[in-house]
Amino acid sequence: MSKLLNEQQIIDRIFSHIDNKTTDLGDTVWKEPVASYLSRERFDAEIELLRRMPVAFCPSVMLSEKGSYVARKAAGTPLLVVRGEDGKIRAFINGCRHRGMPVAKDSGCARSFVCPYHAWTYGLDGQLRHIPGREGFPGVELQDNGLMEVSALEKGGLVYVNQSGPIDDTFLNNAPDFFSGEQQFFDQSEYDDESNWKLIAETTMEGYHIKSLHKQSFYPYGLDNTNIVETFGANSRVIFPFKRMEKLRAIEPAQRSLDGMITSVYQLFPNVAVSILSKHSTVTIFEPLSPSQTQILIYRVTNKTSDGSTVDVDEAMRDAVFVKAAGFDEDREAACSIQETLGAGANQHLTFGYFEKAIVHFHRNLAKHLSA
């Protein structure tokens, strides 16, 4: 894993950028064909990629208790992820082995999963435990008809799922540790937008648009086009400083803390963003629904502070409300507006320049993995 900057290095680089009116730059201009956002063939290839890679599914703290589960679609596949009686995380295709009905929905905590169609019952380990009227199913053995399991692994406070094979631990070596067991999951949101998933994901990877798009929302608090951009593996981290960073200049370097001074956005390739904000963090998943439709899932977790304490849930919720008001809806609207123009023929490609280093890194790796 490429070594990411530590806190003092981040502070020094931000001050250097402020003083010199600079920002981290890439060295490549990337032209992504408009067809990549419209083509059904490209969309299908991206779905297959999402199914054969370890992709973050949810924060581990959503599954803190035995029997806690999350059920949702990932890359079009209904999945059920649950913490078993043995404390292990497991993932299954969320379909009863009798007639295919999902055995769980949304999230919660359960001792077992009972199919709502005919009450076939499965344990937290996915094993089939009970068939009502079993005499009507000669030759159907319990041990042979458990839920179909897919690979799952916990790393750094996130649960990763790979639908097509075992998870390669070396791939996740590039994933930082994000959350600990003391932090709390406290809220989630879901949006269905009329845009390609890459368009909305791209809004999280650059600060070149802060002043123009977020002039009345985020810009009064944040710096425009002043970012630290780091890459590690296929992933990236983009740091967005707040104007209140200036307060740190009067503090001895050894006493400085970045708590509440920056937002760090980790783009976990391909379609997940982890944002460490002032009082809370979000895990945002961009689920492709079609070439022009995306489901955005956001899971919110309280932050830990530099002294090791955990932010109060009410305080974290207030921070979450501010973040939504400070530009998230504007990013979504921008992505949807771009989608509307793509088929009009004005552009044959979208251009990403030196200020958009993380987006170039994303598209370069997406092209590489799709051609593999």
- Per DSSP (E only), the strands in 176-307 are 185-193, 228-232, 235-241, 262-268, 272-276, 280-290, 293-302
Flag whether 107 is in a domain.
yes
Q: Of 167, 189, 204, at which residue does a domain stop? A: 167
Flag whether 319 is in a domain.
yes
**What does the pLDDT average to over 195-200?**
98
Question: Residue 303 sits in a domain of what CATH number?
Answer: 3.90.380.10
% of the chain with per-residue pLDDT over 90: 91
In this prediction, residue 353 carries a pLDDT of: 98
Q: Of 144, 167, 190, at which residue does a domain stop? A: 167
In this prediction, residue 138 carries a pLDDT of: 97
Question: Please, which pLDDT band fits residue 307 given cuts at 50, 70 and 90?
Answer: confident
Flag whether 16 is in a domain.
yes
- State the average pLDDT for the chain: 95
pLDDT at 326 over 80: no
DSSP states along 219-254:
TTTB-TT--EEEEETTEEEEEEEBGGGGGGGGS-GG
Residue whose entry in the numeric block shows the structure tokens 């985020």 = 218
Question: Minimal CA–CA distance to 179: which of 307, 323, 276?
Answer: 276
**Residues 221 and 120 both lie in one domain:** no
In this prediction, residue 176 carries a pLDDT of: 86
Identify the domain containing residue 330 by its residue range: 7-52+179-371
- Per DSSP (E only), the strands in 47-206 are 55-59, 68-74, 77-83, 89-93, 106-109, 113-114, 121-122, 128-130, 149-155, 158-162, 185-193
* Residues 161 and 57: beta-carbon distance below 8 Å: yes
Residue 71, phi-psi category: left (phi > 0), alpha (psi -120 to 50), beta (remainder):
beta
**Residues 187 and 137 both lie in one domain:** no
Flag whether 75 is in a domain.
yes
In this prediction, residue 132 carries a pLDDT of: 98
The model carries a pTM of: 0.95
**Residues 48 and 62 both lie in one domain:** no
**What does the pLDDT average to over 300-322?**
90
Q: Of 108, 138, 167, at which residue does a domain stop? A: 167
In this prediction, residue 324 carries a pLDDT of: 79
Residue 187, phi-psi category: left (phi > 0), alpha (psi -120 to 50), beta (remainder):
beta
**Residues 214 and 359 both lie in one domain:** yes
**Residues 226 and 150 both lie in one domain:** no
**Distance between CA 222 and CA 210 in Å, rounded?**
8
Flag whether 73 is in a domain.
yes
**Residues 210 and 354 both lie in one domain:** yes
- Residue 146's CB is within 10 A of a number of other CB atoms, namely 16
pLDDT at 149 over 50: yes
**Residues 361 and 300 both lie in one domain:** yes
**Residues 82 and 222 both lie in one domain:** no
270 prior amide bond cis, ω within 30: yes
How many structural domains is the chain composed of? 2
Question: Please, which pLDDT band fits residue 117 given cuts at 50, 70 and 90?
Answer: very high
Question: Please, which pLDDT band fits residue 309 given cuts at 50, 70 and 90?
Answer: confident
pLDDT one-digit tens code per residue, 214-244: 999 999 999 999 999 999 999 999 999 999 9
pLDDT at 1 over 70: no
Q: Residue 205, SS3?
A: helix
**Residues 78 and 162 both lie in one domain:** yes
Flag whether 108 is in a domain.
yes
Flag whether 172 is in a domain.
no
**What does the pLDDT average to over 53-66?**
97
**Residues 153 and 193 both lie in one domain:** no
**Residues 259 and 335 both lie in one domain:** yes
**What does the pLDDT average to over 2-25?**
95
Flag whether 247 is in a domain.
yes
* Residues 20 and 223: beta-carbon distance below 8 Å: no
In this prediction, residue 2 carries a pLDDT of: 60
In this prediction, residue 305 carries a pLDDT of: 82
